[in-house]
Amino acid sequence: MIEYRIDRRSGVATYLQIVQQTKQALRLGLLEPGDKLPTAREVVAATAINPNTVLKAYRELEREGLAEGRRGLGTFVRGTLGRGSADSALRTELAAWADRARAGGLDKDDVTALFTSVVAERFEEHGEEHSEHSKQSKRTERIKGDDA
């Protein structure tokens, strides 16, 4: 079962951190369709956040078709974001790269900064979005444009 970690200093809304961590677990194959997500009570006990925040995150996952609430049973994974064996090979390569980076004296923050920088460069070159926040902003802009 997934364990959420909330970073109160990140500047990212708590419910979005839950959504993002769930999506990451789906992409990595750590969660699969049919898996039960922790109850709001379990998340609150582990993270000391408001239960309504957990419910808001789960509603967002439901809206995106990634989860479904079953009355009296809980919230379950409905969709997936993983890509199977191609991701597995890339994960193995990335793990080897991270091991080399650590052996070369880089710490976790150095590796994160380097990786984030390379991803941003590579995906911007191809005109692809690289953050949930910018995707959400574009969606909001489209909706506002429709209202005008």
pLDDT tens for 1-32 read 899 999 999 999 999 999 999 999 998 888 99
- Between 126 and 45, the higher pLDDT residue: 45
The reply to whether 1 falls in a domain is: no
Partner residues linked to 67 by β-bridges: 77
The answer to whether 2 and 46 have CB atoms below 8 angstroms apart is no
Q: Give the CA-trace dihedral at 40, 41, 46, 50, to 10 degrees.
A: 70
Shared domain for 18 and 73, answered yes or no, is yes
Burial 105-130 (b: 16+ CB within 10 A, else e): eeeeeeeeeeeeeeeeeeeeeeeeee
Q: Is residue 130 very low, low, confident or very high in pLDDT (cuts 50, 70, 90)?
A: very low
Residue 8 domain flag = no
Q: Are 78 and 70 in contact (CB under 8 A)?
A: no
CATH of the domain at 37: 1.10.10.10
**Whether 19 and 66 share a structural domain:** yes
Same domain for 105 and 63:
no
* Per-residue pLDDT reduced to its tens digit, 93-126: 999 999 999 999 999 999 999 999 999 999 887 6
Tell me the three state secondary structure of residue 77.
strand
- Domain boundary pick from 77, 101, 120: 77
Is there a contact between 23 and 59 (Cβ–Cβ < 8 Å)? no
Among residues 77, 93, 124, the one where a domain terminates is 77
3-state helix vs strand vs coil in the chain, percent to 5: 60, 5, 35
Q: Do 97 and 44 belong to one domain?
A: no
Same domain, 20 and 68: yes
Same domain flag for 124 and 70: no
Residue 2 lies in a domain: no
Range of the domain at 23: 14-77
> Are residues 98 and 65 both part of a single domain?
no
> Looking at the 3D structure of the chain, how many domains does it have?
2
